Structure 1
């Protein structure tokens, strides 16, 4: 096998650097969750005395997991396991033809909870009627998130220096974004 030959011909130091570099392929913010999902799978394999990574093993794992978690969570576990098995073990479970149909079958009839969202009218009413003494910071956060399409993480990392008062306009600069591209937006009106 070519991968066995390249493994034995690769010096240990280079192999360690390559392993560290491939671990960087996991999403930074959720790396711990991915590692936890991988560890749970490996622990399950060990407790069931399984050494293989075959399709039947993976389906058996998801079958057991499906008794404990919702179908939507099952899909996220599949995604995390797919990434970690590929990175850590070089196994591409996307090639397994029965897993995705199995997950789809488990999702039949599942009704996810609908997130509650505020209408434009409800937002306007909250901003104009809620007392500033109690809700000023909530109002500011709401305006920033709606006007600037800010994510929760972006809002929590915002600093005073990122906000410029331009008399009748506020300029908000978002340096740390999910896409790694800084962006800015303005809020005009009574500021």
Structure 2
């Protein structure tokens, strides 16, 4: 994602259109319906994930973990196991160490995402007796109960259904990780970078993302 957040673009769109009740479902649907003419489905999905994540904190809505999932190419079990000890706040950078991985470390430098992380921490009850990062949000407050692995797996389906994407049930917990790799491939990353990003030992998976890359397909057409 580029440095200007999807959330900021959404707010600016609301301001330009003098939209009242900016965060209602109908407003978001109108925003994505307009952009569906110029964005492909995967792009809509990514932008919705980022916007929804910001809205969750700023408007006391249910917590969506798309930022960590997409930026860090996380599996659902990694999101489930992620703890406060896995993230180091260095001021203008977050260093994220993926649980049970000695090599997969990510840095988050986008200011809006860092602010989102800090705002989320302020909602954490003082009496939580564990270090799990993601805890459930209900009745306008966070509880002490960690988010379970099945809920992480269900989130992409809920997002796809909201966007009215076809076959929404096919959007599984793997979508965060797949979207992350696809975005990296589209940015022009090579095979070694994609393998290291996702922690894949085999080259076949990473090669698949390169072959499916939109930019790669454009280059093939231009060269033919």
Q: TM-score, normalised by structure 2?
A: 0.30
Structure with the greater alpha carbon radius of gyration: 1
Higher helix proportion, which one? 1
